[in-house]
Amino acid sequence: MRIISLNANGIRSAERKGFFPWMQQQNADVICLQETKAQISQLSEDPFFPKNYHCFYHDAEKKGYSGVALYCKQQPDNIINGIGRSDFDAEGRFIEAQFGNLSIISLYLPSGSSGELRQNFKFSFLDYFALLLQERGLNDRNYIICGDWNIAHKAIDLKNWRGNQKNSGFLPEERAWMDTLFAGEQWVDAFRVVNQESEQYTWWSNRGQAWAKNVGWRIDFQIVSAALKDKITGASIYKDERFSDHAPLILDYNL
């Protein structure tokens, strides 16, 4: 099973940059998109409902903002939109596809970079989502949670870690939240199971030639149930083309 995750930073923008022809060449079983920035009524059948895929969108109520999507080769048994709290779900940040005992989720965790108000919203989301993850980690389902988590976990996960310790995305509280998530042995960072190398980034600022200099952050993850750890067979970050300020994260699983 191949799963691709990408923050598209606008699905219509990604389409203009050639995302969909590339996507079709990957023969992925599931594609998880974040930050679609579109209402489903604004998307035509072709290319935004690609052939050979069952397509599901969970839009933000605000136009041109947030939104997540799932494209699945196999018809899911069930689709769940949202995490059950109206202020979070109004922003279109979570969609889950269930296949038997396996759930695949596209997640767009809030950013706090615009100021204190949104950082507090992010902390509130983290608190609520931690309870959900704890609950999910204890049930008998397997999960693959893909998306833009808007947190770089460790110093290896961003180029300028020393200068970003007071910035949203690398705050001590955010990193501690990730520490707690992985410490419980319920969840695993799938990419790091098979790739321990430095300078493995998935997002680059549009400022200061960050892309050209590879001054990036690894804030896009596929976080999986611990029971799936031995099923991870490969991981890569696609950088030959640019569809967004993020790069596609590709994971292969022996499922």
What are the catalytic residues? 148
18: helix, coil or strand? coil
Longest dimension (CA), the chain: 46
CA 42/CA 69 separation, integer angstroms:
14
CA 202/CA 220 separation, integer angstroms:
6
Which sign does the torsion angle of CA 64, 118, 108, 94 carry? negative
CA 182/CA 124 separation, integer angstroms:
19
CA 106/CA 192 separation, integer angstroms:
19
* Beta strands 216-217 and 203-204, pairing class: antiparallel
Start-to-end C-alpha separation, the chain:
6
Within the chain, how many helices (H) and strands (E) appear?
8, 14
